[in-house]
Amino acid sequence: VIGATALAVRGLPRMTRYLDLTVHAEDQVRALKAFQGAGLRMAVPLGDPEDPDPMVVLVDAATAVEVDLLAAAGDPEATVIREAVPAQVFGTRAPVATLEHLLLLYLYSNQPRHIGDFASIVQSGKADLAHAEQKLRDMHPEMLPDFRRRVKQALHPPPAPPRPASRNRAGRPRS
């Protein structure tokens, strides 16, 4: 389990209607068949059913909840799968990414919500940033400057822009 559900399990809840999961690439077809057998349908059927795209979106017709299934062809996803720590998720025990794993996953995304999640993890003080940096050094050392930049931005965000002067009902600045 990765994404917002993993964040919530690790103590940093964010509202979502998605369940993000990752499986080894060689297990993706079997996982897709299991989800389809459970009644989920592919919302974006990309690629051949026996050789699907790395990211497949499934939808539960009864609840409209989306399951984003990411095939891990390498790191950081493969490390997340190998090292995920079991936790209680929706009434069952499942391997869940740690906050350090989530930092690594979010580093490779420019989606605003993922940049925000990265910052939330850093600001929470709950993640071992040195451990995450060491993991990154071992798998993708070329990404260390990006990691350090995002950590710095999370710890020292720029100030918000000043609010404009209030205006009266006629649209004129108040005196």
131 bridge partner residues: none
Mean pLDDT of 1-13: 96
Collapsing DSSP to helix, strand or coil, 68 comes out as strand
Radius of gyration of the chain (CA): 20
User: 109-147, pLDDT tens digit by residue?
Assistant: 999 999 999 999 999 999 999 999 999 999 999 999 999
Question: Where residue 169 falls among pLDDT bands split at 50, 70, 90?
Answer: confident
Q: How would DSSP label each residue in 69-105?
A: EEEESSTTHHHHHHHPEEEEETTEEEEE--HHHHHHH
Residue 141: how many CB atoms within 10 A of its CB?
Answer: 9
Please, is 174 exposed, middle or buried when counting C-beta atoms within 10 Å of its C-beta (0-12, 13-18, 19+)? Answer: exposed
Q: What is the pLDDT of residue 132?
A: 98
Which DSSP string do the residues of 23-47 spell out, in sequence order?
Answer: EEGGGHHHHHHHHHHTTEEESS--E
pLDDT(174) > 80: no
The helix/strand/coil state of 55 is strand
56-88, pLDDT tens digit by residue?
899 998 999 899 999 998 999 999 999 999 999
* Residue carrying structure tokens 């699907």: 52
Residues with Cβ within 8 Å of 140's Cβ and at least 6 positions away in sequence, in order, are 75, 76
Distance (Å, whole) CA 63 – CA 139: 38
62 CB-near residues (< 8 Å, 6+ apart) = 39
